[in-house]
Amino acid sequence: MPHPRVGIADLSIATTHYMIDHATLARHHGVDVAKYHRGIGQDAMSVPAPDEDIVTLAAAAAAPVLERHGTSALRTVLLATETGVDQSKAAGLYLHPLLRLPHTTRVVELKQACYAATAGLQFAAGLIARDPAHQVLVIATDIARYDTGTPAEATQGAASAAILVTADPGIAELESVTGVHSSHVMDFWRPNHRTTPVVDGKLSITTYLDATAHAYADYRRHGGRDLDDFAAFCYHQPFTAMAYKAHRHLLGTHGQAPSHDDLDTALAASTHYNRAVGNSYTASLYLALASLLDHRDELGGRHVGMLSYGSGCVAEFFCATVVPGYRDHLRATAHDHAVTARKPLAYDDYRSLHEFRIPADAGRHNVPEHTAGAFRLAAVEGHERIYETR
């Protein structure tokens, strides 16, 4: 039986209520702002309000997708995060009342650092190959929070991406050939007792570069496309300069020495949202794809090389072939609004939000109201998270 065409029918991103720009951060840290703007390629980072978390971010990204497509064919919700709110219950279940999800869906949470949403896409493609009437909602949602005063602090951020995977998609087809690479590396991890990760930043960069080359080599061994076949590339962007490092490395392993302009042609359009939002872990690669599609209008029928990386580590290289007419399905105005509508924080307010914690006892703790969006975390009572829809 021939495989159906499977891929992305809708892609919607959301981010937080607040942001802080790197010029403010640089001033308070006594750092040359060029290190942030040019060195790591970041202008600003999203900062969650007390009443935002991965569930409210997921709901904000997914609601417009369900509004457009309905839920009658939705059979599976795969939520990928490395900022889980519970060790047992899938965060996607909190979305049931917020998004009026049908009870006839399987809901599960996926974890492997920044990579897990890509596993979600591949699992979705498998389910749809079995039953092309089946639709799968993959949601990537994360808050990247590091200890203040560490090199990683400037690479914080938060965002979500909701990706509807269907047969005969309107935006991009996911080709079935993929290349994968995994190995046991301690470059970044977060033990259960910690609220921030343990990071060996330099090791994470070299591991990412190695994993990229290995994943692409595996992709080629399985019949994948030549590098010259791709009109653009999207990389996981913990900071946008990482996409440039990774692409230069990948081309270098194939004997090419690209100029900065060559790299810009392949990558620049994919970096707009991540430059402003910062690291969003599982969502980062899909913010890159949204940015590319929203900012280039000649991609119909062309191939985009996608590189997903999650520390620890797993990497996957795959191809998304853009469907002619894709621009009719995009949400560029809403995405731009999500980024530009954020409220800038003064440095001291950023620091107090960074320190904000909901007490961990069983009492009722109302969460201060900061946000104005459709979904908020209203309270925690008896260890239960209570959300509100406006």
133 — phi, psi (to 5°)? Answer: -80, -10
Query: By C-beta, is 120 or 238 nearer to ligand COA?
Result: 238
Core vs surface per residue 350-378: b (16+ CB within 10 A) or e: beebbeeeeeeeeeeeebeebbebebbbe
| Binding of residue 277 to ligand COA (CB under 6 A) | no
82 belongs to the catalytic site: yes
Binding mask 311-350 for ligand COA (x = CB under 6 A): x---------------------------------------
The verdict on 204 binding ligand COA (CB under 6 A) reads yes
252 binds ligand COA (CB under 6 A): no
- Angle at Cα 109 formed by Cα 140 and Cα 20, nearest 5°? 35
Site for ligand COA (CB under 6 A): which residue of 172, 242, 267, 306?
242
Among 110, 84, 49, smallest CA distance to 370 is for 49
Question: Read out DSSP for 165-192?
Answer: EEES-SSEEEEEEEEEEE----SEE--T
User: Which one of 84-92, 169-177, 204-212, 330-338 is the stretch in contact with ligand COA (CB under 6 A)?
Assistant: 204-212
Residue 90 near ligand COA by CB under 6 A: no
Choosing from 236, 247, 272, 335, which is the catalytic residue?
236
Nearest residue (CB) to ligand COA, 176 versus 253: 253
- Encoded one letter per residue, x for contact with ligand COA by CB under 6 A and - for no contact, window 137-166 reads --------------xx-xx-----------
Distance of alpha carbon 302 from alpha carbon 52, whole angstroms: 37
Give catalytic status of residue 173 as yes or no. Answer: no
Helix boundaries (H) for the chain? 22-29, 33-34, 54-69, 95-99, 116-130, 201-221, 241-252, 260-267, 272-277, 284-295, 332-340, 347-355
Candidate segments 235-243, 266-274, 298-306, 367-375, binder of ligand COA by CB under 6 A: 235-243
For Cα atoms 335, 290, 252, give the angle at the middle one, nearest 5 degrees: 140
38 binds ligand COA (CB under 6 A): yes
Indicate the residue among 176 and 182 with the shorter CB distance to ligand COA: 182
Q: Which tokens go with 205?
A: 């960069």
Q: Which residues contact ligand COA by CB under 6 A?
A: 32, 34-35, 38-40, 151-152, 154-155, 199, 201-202, 204-205, 208, 238-239, 242, 311
